Amino acid sequence: MVKEMKRVQALQTMKTIAETLNEANDLQEMLPTVLRQLIDVTGLECGWIFWVEEDGTYTLMADYELPPALMRENKKPMCEGICWCLERYQDGRLKNAVNIIECKRLKEAIVKNRGETNGITHHATVPLRAGDEQFGILNVASPHKQRFSKEELALLESVAYQIGTAIKRIKLVENEQKLALLAERNRLARDLHDSVSQLLFSLLLTASGAKEIATEENIKEALEHMQTLAQEALHEMRALIWQLRPQGLENGVASALMNYSKMLGLNVKLDIEGVLDLPNEIEQCLWRVGQEALNNCKKHAGVSEVEIMLSVQNERVAVKISDKGCGFHYTGAETLSLGLKSMKERVEAVNGVFSMKSSIGKGTAIELSIPLKKEGKL
């Protein structure tokens, strides 16, 4: 009778979690939800999920009912240092659901008297995987529970495999969406180049030719103004096409920014320190922020000389884009323009720091610093 009840409970657990996973399309929402459901239906006390990158860095992606000792300082104990379950995961020993003898994070909290642990000292650990691909670790625990039965571990392993399969599906969908977005951006770039850019170029040539044969001075002035406007519009269109499809980014962000500067008609002094082998997400951020900064130099600085400094040191990439143009009054208290706000948000989205300095007659400088490693490196 007891075995039958446990079997029914296990099936109910699998059914409840499967329904959630089948509907999920966002990792940030899915993992906390499914973790809460798992803890509730199994009668356990708490749990947490570590997302582990290939380079060994890890992130606390979800947690539920952590004891106070692990919640202190915005969950700092869960976001730094090493622990035994992560060590086993990294060296390949964690293949299946296992009992961990003792939680190192909780043990340190007890020894150093860093808060209440609610009687939790041990936890079960199971890797999140789909086939040969691994994504992280699921940990669950209860007060005064030091061992999990084979049936409990088997259930946790089944749930973890379901979660891993859902993660794989979501990642595939995200990749498909990124490829579709890239294809659409490329299509728009081609269409703009083949249609609007060609029309603007034709207008520029027509205005230039008409100005040469015009005899009346007022007509010449009007045609010259038209020629200037067409030239500016053509530059704007080329810049827009670059933003849609950054040619040269495959050769690195420094090369892309140099080529983009030339397209804008800017003279750039580039200074690089360190090896710029950057993650794709950070490289895209530097590229978009650099574009906006160079556009601002072109439109507002009143000079054609720009300095770009890129350096990598102490596991951070730092970039400074500056000019000695007209500048503007800025103390840091003013509301940022849409373009500057977008730059700041892009940098902060990758855990970076954005700052700007500008004063009238002394130019403008954009500075940003982005960590190359996430917190929690093993």
CATH code, domain carrying 354: 3.30.565.10
From 137, 158, 175, give the residue that closes a domain: 175
Same domain for 146 and 29? yes
- Residue whose tokens read 């009778």: 1
Please state the domain count of the chain. 2
Does 128 map to a domain?
A: yes
Residue 147 sits in a domain of what CATH number?
A: 3.30.450.40
Sheet arrangement for strand 123-130: 58-64, 46-52, 133-141, 123-130, 98-100
From 141, 175, 209, give the residue that closes a domain: 175
Looking at residue 374, the DSSP 8-state letter turns out to be -
Give the whole-angstrom CA distance, residue 199 versus residue 217.
26
Which element (helix H / strand E) includes 47? strand 46-52
From 146, 175, 204, give the residue that closes a domain: 175
Give the whole-angstrom CA distance, residue 163 versus residue 158.
9
Question: Reduced to 3 states, what is the DSSP secondary structure of residue 364?
Answer: strand
Contact by Cβ (8 Å): 124, 98: yes
Contact by Cβ (8 Å): 50, 86: yes
Same domain for 277 and 163? no
Same domain for 141 and 265? no
The predicted-structure confidence for 246-257, as pLDDT tens digits, reads as follows: 555 556 788 888
Residue 165 in tokens: 């399969």
Contact by Cβ (8 Å): 15, 1: no
Same domain for 10 and 124? yes
Same domain for 137 and 34? yes
Contact by Cβ (8 Å): 301, 254: no
Identify the domain containing residue 286 by its residue range.
248-378
Q: Given this model, what pLDDT does residue 377 score?
A: 43
Same domain for 25 and 126? yes
pTM of the model: 0.55
Q: Given this model, what pLDDT does residue 1 score?
A: 44
Same domain for 136 and 256? no
Alpha helix positions (H), 214-321: 217-244, 253-264, 280-296
Same domain for 162 and 305? no
Residue 364 in tokens: 């403008």
Does 355 map to a domain?
A: yes
Helix%, strand%, coil% for the chain, nearest 5: 55, 20, 25
Give the whole-angstrom CA distance, residue 9 versus residue 154.
13
Does 8 map to a domain?
A: yes
The predicted-structure confidence for 55-84, as pLDDT tens digits, reads as follows: 788 889 999 999 998 888 888 888 888 888
Which element (helix H / strand E) includes 173? helix 150-191
Give the whole-angstrom CA distance, residue 229 versus residue 212.
17
Residue among 167, 46, 163 at smallest CA distance from 116: 46
Same domain for 265 and 168? no
Residues 6+ apart with CB under 8 A from 234: 197, 200, 201, 204
Q: Given this model, what pLDDT does residue 201 score?
A: 75
Give the whole-angstrom CA distance, residue 148 versus residue 140.
10
Segments in the chain below pLDDT 50: 1-5, 375-378
Q: What is the identity of the amino acid at 20? A: T
Same domain for 170 and 258? no
Looking at residue 251, the DSSP 8-state letter turns out to be G
Give the whole-angstrom CA distance, residue 205 versus residue 210.
8
Contact by Cβ (8 Å): 286, 319: yes
Same domain for 117 and 23? yes
Does 327 map to a domain?
A: yes
Does 20 map to a domain?
A: yes
Same domain for 360 and 279? yes
Does 243 map to a domain?
A: no
Give strand pairing partners of 167.
Answer: none
